[in-house]
Amino acid sequence: MPKQTILKQLLIWRAKHISHRQFVYILSIIIGFTSGVGAVVLKNLTHFFQHLLEGKLIKYYHHAFYFLFPILGLTLVYLIIKYIIRNKVSHGIPSTLFAISKRKGIMRRYQMFGSILTAPITVGFGGSVGLEGPTVATGAAIGSNISRMFHMNQTTRNLLIGCAAAGAMSSIFKAPIAAIIFAIEVFSLDLTIASMLPLLLASLSAILTSYFFFGDDILLPFKIEDKFVISDTPFYMVLGVFAAITSIYFTQVYHKIHTLFDTFNSPIKRLIIGGIGLGVLIYFIPPLYGEGFDVINNLIAGNVEIALEQNVMQMDLTNIWIVILLLSGLVFFKIIASSLTFGAGGVGGIFAPTLFMGSIMGNCIAKIINNCGLFNAPVSESNFSLVGMAGLLAGVLHAPLTAIFLIAELTSGYELIIPLMLTATIAYGLTKYFSPHSVYNMQLARKGDLITHDKDHAVLTLMDIDKVIETNFVTITSNMNLGEIVHTAVIKSNRNIFPVVKSKTQELVGVILLDDLRPIMFDQDLYGDVVAHDIMQPAPEIIDFDKDKMTEIMQKFQDSSAWNLPVIKDGKYFGFISKSKLLTAYRRQLITLQGNT
């Protein structure tokens, strides 16, 4: 039986026997499972490469492989993208956010396997990025295409993409509550009963899948031994401030290096420059190799010597200030290594680098407090490492609730909930003040394509400008006389406004209202004497098709009090947008966004 026939029969059976809401619940379970399987495949492939290369070749043969492997891995990724995938594999979560905001939740089919083919090679060969972003992107693409296959509407597609994100995070970290909060915070999903149950089902399905394949193993196995004491409160506040500073540094460096590589037209040039830069960094600083969870676990367990044993300069690790210096260097260079990985064409995410930098930053602050000689009672270096991760997550990702609950769930308890809340809140608040948008949202925000929890802004962002432009206005050239205007424009148009353009360039120079013509249009003595230039007036506002976003267009209507505004495209007159049509489109989009799931 043909595939299309089977699918059609399934859709008919579903429509007869299962309600839309029940079917969404079923799909959320399926998508949670597939996201969990995607996480398993990505992790296992990456660990296979890491064990094969770092465990065998580097450890037993030669340290120089730290320089060679990242370049080799990035070259393989470039070849796979060019000759196998044949499409750009974008960074995980930003590409998913773009699909939600500008592609109505539609993700192309190759995105279901693009990250699976490229991210394990990037990270396994030493790329200094994480797997969380690619895992979310893979699950989101699967969720998007499953929802398209079953003809789900845009609202449901976006919800199922959020379910995929929750499933991916739940499977990776075994933190189902934090995963749900992550989907709501990062993807700006509405927190309603209708959306909560699918997110719960997806998160539950994914974590059960993870337990089935991975057992009880988790990325950060840690039990809290040092409880929070109230006297440590000022120190956690200081940690929040340093987390904010580090978050701003992270964001700025990432943005600047990303912008620099955008200026390189040749992907080969990006590969060579980024690959060599990354190889040099990892050769001199081996802990930057890959995700870095081994370093994090050693720091949390108090095994700092193991975390730093591979320093090329063989510095004395018994000197605590040398240890602090080396750890600070890891914080400083990790985001540079991650940015070079992305710049060279690697595929990965920034979630793991954020955890890496946060844990080391927290550990450094604790070591400085304990060894500066100013304070009597020592603070817990392990706790500061954990809370530092939450602080940097809150600052870099602008997701404080995700940061708090992720660390709380990873430690299997809420003993640190007060310092987690304190540090995450300070880090988020200060970072938000200096960097209004997270690393995920920065590019979309600059283009005005960012979906937020602001309902009005979200509706306007989802609207398409080309669907509200009307082009059936009769144009008038600036040298037309009154007689020509009456016979070629007024008589033939049912509009009460006429754009005036230059005859050769079609550049908009003004508008003529029917009210401006009425006093003189019946005086034939003026037909040859009055020209368009004499009676036209400047447009109250002009909309630029290439630059203005819907939020800006709505603001121009509000500021000008106009009912019709002209649109230019490539410097030429293109059409008009009417306030009535814009508001009608807004209402329709609002209904779509609030549609029942």
pLDDT digits (tens, 9 = 90+) for 353-410: 999 999 999 999 999 998 887 777 788 888 899 999 999 999 998 889 999 999 888 8
Among 334, 387, 112, smallest CA distance to 228 is for: 387
* pLDDT band, very low/low/confident/very high, at 596 (cuts 50, 70, 90): very low
Among 253, 46, 246, smallest CA distance to 131 is for: 46
User: Phi/psi at 225 (nearest 5 deg)?
Assistant: -110, -35
Report the pLDDT value the prediction gives residue 49, as an integer from 0 to 100: 85
Per-residue pLDDT tens for 204-258? 999 999 888 877 777 676 777 778 888 889 999 999 999 999 999 999 999 899 8
Rounded Cα distance between 562 and 574, Å, is 18
HSE-up of residue 106 (Cα within 13 Å, Cβ side)? 10
- CA distance readout (Å), 312 to 12, 316, 341, 502, 565: 66, 11, 21, 69, 65
* pLDDT band, very low/low/confident/very high, at 62 (cuts 50, 70, 90): low
Q: What is the pTM assigned to this prediction?
A: 0.76
Report the pLDDT value the prediction gives residue 305, as an integer from 0 to 100: 74
What does the radius of gyration of the chain's CA atoms come to, in whole angstroms?
29
Report the pLDDT value the prediction gives residue 425, as an integer from 0 to 100: 95
User: Which residues have a Cβ under 8 Å from the Cβ of 543 and sit 6 or more positions away?
Assistant: 553, 556, 565, 566, 567, 568, 577
* pLDDT band, very low/low/confident/very high, at 122 (cuts 50, 70, 90): very high
Q: Which residues in 546-569 are b (16+ Cβ under 10 Å) and which e? A: eebbbeebbebbeeeebebbbbbe
Rounded Cα distance between 58 and 127, Å, is 15
Rounded Cα distance between 126 and 289, Å, is 5
* Bridge partners of residue 290, in order along the sequence: none
Report the pLDDT value the prediction gives residue 365, as an integer from 0 to 100: 93
Rounded Cα distance between 554 and 575, Å, is 16
The answer to whether the beta carbons of residues 362 and 386 sit under 8 Å apart is yes
Left, alpha or beta for 480 (phi > 0: left; psi -120 to 50: alpha)? beta
Query: Which domains does the chain possess?
Result: 3-214 (1.10.3080.10), 230-457 (1.10.3080.10), 459-593 (3.10.580.10)
Provide, rounded to the nearest whole percent, the portion of the chain with pLDDT above 70: 88
Average pLDDT over residues 153-165: 86
What are the strands, taking DSSP E only, across 216-294? Answer: none
Q: Could you give the strand order of the β-sheet that contains 469-470, starting from the edge strand earlier in sequence?
A: 469-470, 572-578, 564-569, 543-544
Chain-wide mean pLDDT for the chain? 83
Q: DSSP readout, 85-114? A: I-S----HHHHHHHHHHHSTT---TTHHHH
Report the pLDDT value the prediction gives residue 333, as an integer from 0 to 100: 92
Tell me, what DSSP letter sits at residue 571?
A: T
HSE-up of residue 359 (Cα within 13 Å, Cβ side)? 24
Average pLDDT over residues 487-498: 83
User: Phi/psi at 563 (nearest 5 deg)?
Assistant: -100, -20
Rounded Cα distance between 158 and 101, Å, is 9
What are the strands, taking DSSP E only, across 417-473? Answer: 469-470
* pLDDT band, very low/low/confident/very high, at 453 (cuts 50, 70, 90): very low
Q: Is 437 helix (H, G, I), strand (E, B) or coil?
A: coil
Report the pLDDT value the prediction gives residue 422, as an integer from 0 to 100: 95
